[in-house]
Each structure stands twice: as C-alpha cells, then as structure tokens.
Amino acid sequence: MAVPFKAPPVWIQTGQERSQYFGFMFTRIGDPFALALTGGCGYMSPEDAWKRAILKTVFRGFAGTALFGGTRMLYRNDPSVIVPGITEVFPAIRDYCPKAKLLGIAAKSQTFKASPYGLVISDNPNDDYFTVIHPEQDGMVILQPGVDAVSKSPWDDEWKERCNIVAELQKGGWGSGLVVFNGGSITEKELLCWAENGRRELEAFGQTAWNVILVNGSGRKADEYANNAVFLQANGSVHVVEMSVESIRGKLVQIGALCAENAT
C-alpha cells in the first residue's frame, strides 16, 4: 500500500560513502544536463524572496536533472506557512518540467527529529523557522561524517558534494550550469568554485561545462558579482542575465540547459 502522503526516497551517506541507488537516479532522465540552483534561504529579505516567483516558469521545458538543497523551511510560530527560500523554486516547476528529475542534497547538522511536518534536519532555536526534508522531490541524499556525528559545516558540505556530483557527470559528457539567485557567504563559495573550475578549463581547453548564470537584480551576492567588471572579465564561464523570463531563458538555451525550440 502506498503511503498517504508525499515521501521521497532518502539515502544517507556516511564519510566517503557514495550511494549507488542515489547515483541510479541520474540515469532516469531525459537530457544529460545537470542544473544546480543556489541562493538565498532563511536570510533572504522578504522583498527579494518574492522576486524568485519569476523563476517558476523560467525553467519550462527543462528535462535534465535539477540539483538543489532538498529542504523546506517552515515558520516556527505557524508551520503551515512555508518560508519562501530558494529551495522552493525547483519543486514548483514540476508542472512545467514533467521530464525533469529533482534531486536534493543536504548535510546532517543535528540529530534528526520526527515531527508532524516531516523529518526535521535543522532546528536552530535562534531562527524563526525550522527545516524539514522537502516532500516535493524525486530523491535526496543526506551527508553525515558518522552515525552519531553531525557536520560542522553543513552548508559547505552540501555545495561541495553538489560540485563533486557535477564533476563526475561532466566526465560522462553531461552539460551543466549553476543559477545564482540572491545568496550570502555560502552561495559565494559555490559561485567562486564554479568560476575557478570554468576559468581553469577555459585556459586549458578553450571550453568548459562549468557555466554560471548570475541573476542581476535578485540581490546580495548575485548582484555583487554581476556588477563586478573585473571579476567578469577574468571569468569567461560566468554570465549575467537580468531578472526577466526572456533574459534567463535565453542564457539557459545558450548553455544547453534548454532546447531552442522550447524556449519561446
């Protein structure tokens, strides 16, 4: 009998383990393209958070693998209300992207807790929200250093694993891209990692799959780097788009995330 609620499969990787079953999820897709999304979560301003609504239709027609944090934030005082962070974007595209595979990656930051709202994987009493596994995804992997240990840098572990997965997929001929919307210090680290990898490959081979799309106008780190002429000049794999459906979709077509015929 099927469970009467949405419950994606979850795998837990300990130390240097790699789940073969989670890896199999990447074979069940239409297009060999990995698209990662990073940006503001709990610290995104309410004004910037609502700007992300433009992303709901931007990815229409995407048929590859969408990589994201795989979590959902709920307000502590009213858990029926979802915090509008970046991790709500990919789950919202299901109706527009029926062939896409939505896969989450997160790191264990505390002992898991069962709750009526889902499995709680982060609950800092200083925040006005808590974090659960997102129910609207196809699969998720949680990283932990040991069965009784928690990550000292969970957000760093998350983006590093995402980069590791993308690097492995690229070896198999996959295309890839990172969309940066808003974001703070962790987003900056992921952005700079992709930019460095792209710069190194461009210098060595004249081409790269480490494509970065900065959404100018989305706020914080995305805007900071989108308006840094020196940085952009030195990093040819980093592209700037304005916060419009046409601008973002045009760049997604250019890097191979969308087919040109499906872009209009």
State pLDDT tens for residues 135-191: 999 999 999 998 888 888 888 999 999 999 999 999 999 999 999 999 999 999 999
Domain residue limits, the chain: 10-258
State pLDDT tens for residues 27-49: 876 799 999 999 978 676 766 66
User: What are the distances in angstroms from CA 263 to CA 210, 245, 258?
Assistant: 21, 10, 7
Which residue type is seen at 16? Q
Instruction: Give me the pLDDT at residue 1, please.
Output: 47
Residue 262 has pLDDT above 70, yes or no: no
CB burial of residue 190 (10 Å; 0-12, 13-18, 19+): buried
Q: What is the assigned CATH class of domain 10-258?
A: alpha beta
Distance, CA of 120 to CA of 111 (rounded, Å): 9
State pLDDT tens for residues 219-238: 999 999 999 999 999 999 99
pLDDT interval class at 54 (50, 70, 90): confident
Distance, CA of 237 to CA of 195 (rounded, Å): 6
State pLDDT tens for residues 207-221: 999 999 999 999 999
State pLDDT tens for residues 4-35: 567 899 999 998 888 888 888 888 767 999 99
Q: Which residue has the higher pLDDT, 259 or 230?
A: 230
Quote the distance between the C-alpha of residue 194 and its chain's center: 13
Residue 259 has pLDDT above 90, yes or no: no
DSSP bridge partners of 68: 104
Q: Where are the beta strands (DSSP E) in 69-200?
A: 71-75, 101-107, 120-122, 129-133, 139-144, 175-181
| pTM, 2 dp | 0.93
**% pLDDT > 70, the chain:** 92
State pLDDT tens for residues 63-109: 999 999 999 999 999 999 999 889 999 999 988 899 999 999 999 99
